């Protein structure tokens, strides 16, 4: 097959070196198969868009440890690394950095997710995620979640 007439084919855009940022994110899945989305608060980059809970992985930290830390800080819930199942990843070039974001799924945690950082929360069925504008990096993850959950 020649690449030029396939939908995924895009000629590479040559740019200078980019910094790759590692961000860990999780689909928290409830008993009804709904996934928790959090709305990015005003003042942050991509404010108003809905994202998976998570955040940047610190130097010397594993993605799983970063998620356990972020979920406690952002939502006040306790999670165990052993309950985080890797399911997909996003790899997307933004204007100022390249995002590499492993996405985990978790169905078990302790506590009730509470918006501790002023963010809005929504439990959303994967088929309804199109109603929630998400960062460009997240768009390819939506059909994967629909298939998996």
Ligand X SMILES: Nc1nc2c([nH]c(=O)n2[C@H]2C[C@H](O)[C@@H](COP(=O)(O)OP(=O)(O)OP(=O)(O)O)O2)c(=O)[nH]1
Q: How far is the CB of 78 from ligand X (least distance, A)?
A: 18
What is the number of the residue whose Cβ is closest to ligand X? 55
Q: How far is the CB of 91 from ligand X (least distance, A)?
A: 11
For 28-57, b where at least 16 C-beta lie within 10 A, e where not — what string? bbeeeebbbbbbbeeeeeeeebbbbbbbeb
Identity of the residue, 1 or 59, whose beta carbon is nearer to ligand X in the bound complex:
59
For 65-82, b where at least 16 C-beta lie within 10 A, e where not — what string? ebbbbbbeebbebebeee
Q: How far is the CB of 39 from ligand X (least distance, A)?
A: 11
Largest CA distance in the chain: 52
* Binding-site ranges for ligand X (CB under 6 A): 23, 25, 44-46, 51-52, 54-56, 99, 135, 137-138
Identity of the residue, 111 or 140, whose beta carbon is nearer to ligand X in the bound complex:
140
């Amino acid at each position: 097959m020649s690449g030029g007439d396939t939908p995924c084919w895009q000629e590479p855009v040559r740019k200078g070196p980019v910094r790759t940022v590692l961000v860990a994110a999780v689909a928290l899945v409830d008993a009804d198969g709904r996934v928790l989305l959090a709305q990015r608060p005003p003042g942050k980059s991509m404010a108003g868009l809905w994202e998976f809970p998570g955040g940047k992985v610190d130097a010397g930290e594993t993605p799983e440890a970063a998620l356990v830390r972020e979920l406690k800080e952002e939502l006040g819930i306790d999670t165990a690394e052993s309950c985080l199942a890797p399911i997909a990843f996003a790899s997307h070039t933004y204007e100022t950095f390249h995002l590499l974001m492993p996405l985990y799924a978790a169905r078990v945690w302790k506590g009730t997710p509470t918006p501790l950082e002023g963010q809005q929360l929504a439990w959303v069925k994967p088929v309804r995620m199109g109603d929630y504008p998400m960062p460009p990096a997240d768009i390819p993850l939506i059909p994967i979640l629909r298939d998996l959950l």
